[in-house]
Amino acid sequence: MLPFYCSWMTEDLRIFADSVHKFIDQEIEPHYVEWERKKWMPREVWNKLGAAGLLCVDISEDYGGCGVGFEFSALIADIFYRRGVGAVAGGGIGVHSGIVAHYILNMGREAQKASYLPKMATGEYVGAIGMTEPGAGSDLKNIKTSAKKTDGGYLINGSKIFISNGQHCDIIILACKTDPAAGARGVSLFLVETDTKGFVRGSKLEKLGMHCQDTSELFFEDMFVPDEALLGPLNGGFIAMMQELPRERMLLAVGAQAACEGMLDITLEYVKERNAFGKRIADFQNTRFKLAELATKIRVQKAFVDQGILLLAEGKLDAATASMAKLHTTELQGVVADECLQLFGGYGYMTEYRIAREYADARAQRIYGGTSEIMKEIISRELIK
């Protein structure tokens, strides 16, 4: 097939890509189907990821990272999704390295950065972020979890839902209301160790797809945290979240693009091998035209995703562009999953086939990180402001 050229690939990135593929070959792919069946990824995988240098790569070497650019984080997401093991990269590595670590790096005091980032880089600590609540999904300004000031700190009460890494996490960034009357301007962020008294892990949630990825409910019952747990300025949480969301959405876009490419690859292999009515499935005009349409859409989309990666690496990615990338790639991922599964026929519906897992996994992409509808709202506001 025609190669999907990457405008930002360098020789250093090619060498790094080889190490990522090797890690997946040795530590992920031989076990992935079993993890999916058991709906659980072992905790020690995080330590192996850290030992392989695949966590927090674009964090300064002073804090345990590799001190490289965003392109290296993008490449990790790209390869994991392209290889069909995106559940490890998306809600796992993406949240830990791409979101939590950068909140701490950009907002944390020196003591917080020095304490937590090196442990995150080695996998000793797993990070999570608590935004979504049962009554407040993408509408972050209406969260109910409260942090009330008390002597020496804050008492936190409330709950979070759909939290990636919720069972494994050792630290979590919590979005809490510190001024209930101030709306979005009354939200603060707290960096909390999960062995704190009053932190309660709920159940690991059963999902349609991404089964081995750890998604959980969390509860906070008179959980006391010291003043030093505040991450960034008091009541500055909502602005901070808006500043960090473009990175999250760009990483999701990278993963969705790579998933599209990976699904097309395995479908091309299948239709050239599978026969029906005396000839290869690939020899039917409908198959050829479907594949041509999908390949064209994916190829055109890649140019925009590559542009977004470079903009983020240069610190120039705006919220609307990130939202466009997230919207388009995740919507196309759903289309590609459906069309490719159809070409597999009945076998595509069997969970032993990768395309069936890809189909189920793709559905979450249009929801987390901000739904497609929220992406459209962000984009339209920028257009007509």
195 and 272 co-located in one domain: no
Separation between Cα atoms, residue 257 and residue 128, nearest integer Å? 24
278: exposed, middle or buried (Cβ count in 10 Å: 0-12, 13-18, 19+): exposed
Separation between Cα atoms, residue 283 and residue 77, nearest integer Å? 34
Instruction: With beta carbons less than 8 A apart as the criterion, state whether 211 and 39 touch.
Output: yes
Nearest alpha-carbon partner for 161 in 181, 143, 188: 143
pLDDT at 142: 82
302 and 365 co-located in one domain: yes
pLDDT at 141: 75
pLDDT tens-place string over residues 179-213: 998 888 999 999 999 999 999 999 899 999 999 99
Indicate the pTM of the whole model: 0.95
Count of domains in the chain?
3
Instruction: Give backbone dihedrals phi and psi of 189, rounded to 5 degrees, phi first.
Output: -110, 140
* CATH code of the domain in which 161 resides: 2.40.110.10
| Structural domain contains residue 6 | no
253 and 314 co-located in one domain: yes
pLDDT at 2: 52
Question: Which position among 71, 244, 248, 261 bears the catalytic label?
Answer: 248
Judge whether residue 385 has pLDDT over 90. no
Instruction: With beta carbons less than 8 A apart as the criterion, state whether 147 and 176 touch.
Output: yes
Sequence-distant (6+) residues with CB within 8 A of 22 are none
Q: Which two tokens stand for residue 345?
A: 């026929």
pLDDT confidence tier of residue 344, bands split at 50, 70 and 90: very high
Q: Find how far residue 50's CA is from the centre of its chain.
A: 17
Query: Is 55 in a helix, a strand, or coil?
Result: coil
User: HEC states along 328-344?
Assistant: HHHHHHHHHHHHHHHHH
234: exposed, middle or buried (Cβ count in 10 Å: 0-12, 13-18, 19+): middle
78 and 178 co-located in one domain: no
pLDDT confidence tier of residue 87, bands split at 50, 70 and 90: very high
Separation between Cα atoms, residue 280 and residue 283, nearest integer Å? 5
Q: Find how far residue 246's CA is from the centre of its chain.
A: 12
Q: For residues 91-106, b (16+ Cβ closer than 10 Å) or e, as one string? A: bbbbbbbbbbbbbbbe
Separation between Cα atoms, residue 358 and residue 151, nearest integer Å? 50
pLDDT tens-place string over residues 108-144: 999 999 999 999 999 999 999 999 998 876 677 789 9
Judge whether residue 97 has pLDDT over 70. yes
Q: Which two tokens stand for residue 282?
A: 């690939």
The average confidence (pLDDT) of the chain is 95
pLDDT at 79: 96
pLDDT at 138: 63
Instruction: With beta carbons less than 8 A apart as the criterion, state whether 137 and 123 touch.
Output: no
- Identify whether 269 is a catalytic site residue: no
Instruction: With beta carbons less than 8 A apart as the criterion, state whether 370 and 323 touch.
Output: yes
Q: Which domain holds residue 367?
A: 244-384
256 and 373 co-located in one domain: yes
Judge whether residue 364 has pLDDT over 70. yes
pLDDT tens-place string over residues 265-323: 999 999 999 999 999 999 999 999 999 999 999 999 999 999 999 999 999 999 999 99
| Structural domain contains residue 4 | no
Q: What is the CA radius of gyration of the chain?
A: 21
DSSP code for 205: P
93 and 106 co-located in one domain: yes
Instruction: With beta carbons less than 8 A apart as the criterion, state whether 81 and 256 touch.
Output: yes
pLDDT tens-place string over residues 212-255: 999 999 999 999 999 999 999 999 999 998 899 999 999 999 99
216 and 320 co-located in one domain: no
Q: Find how far residue 53's CA is from the centre of its chain.
A: 18
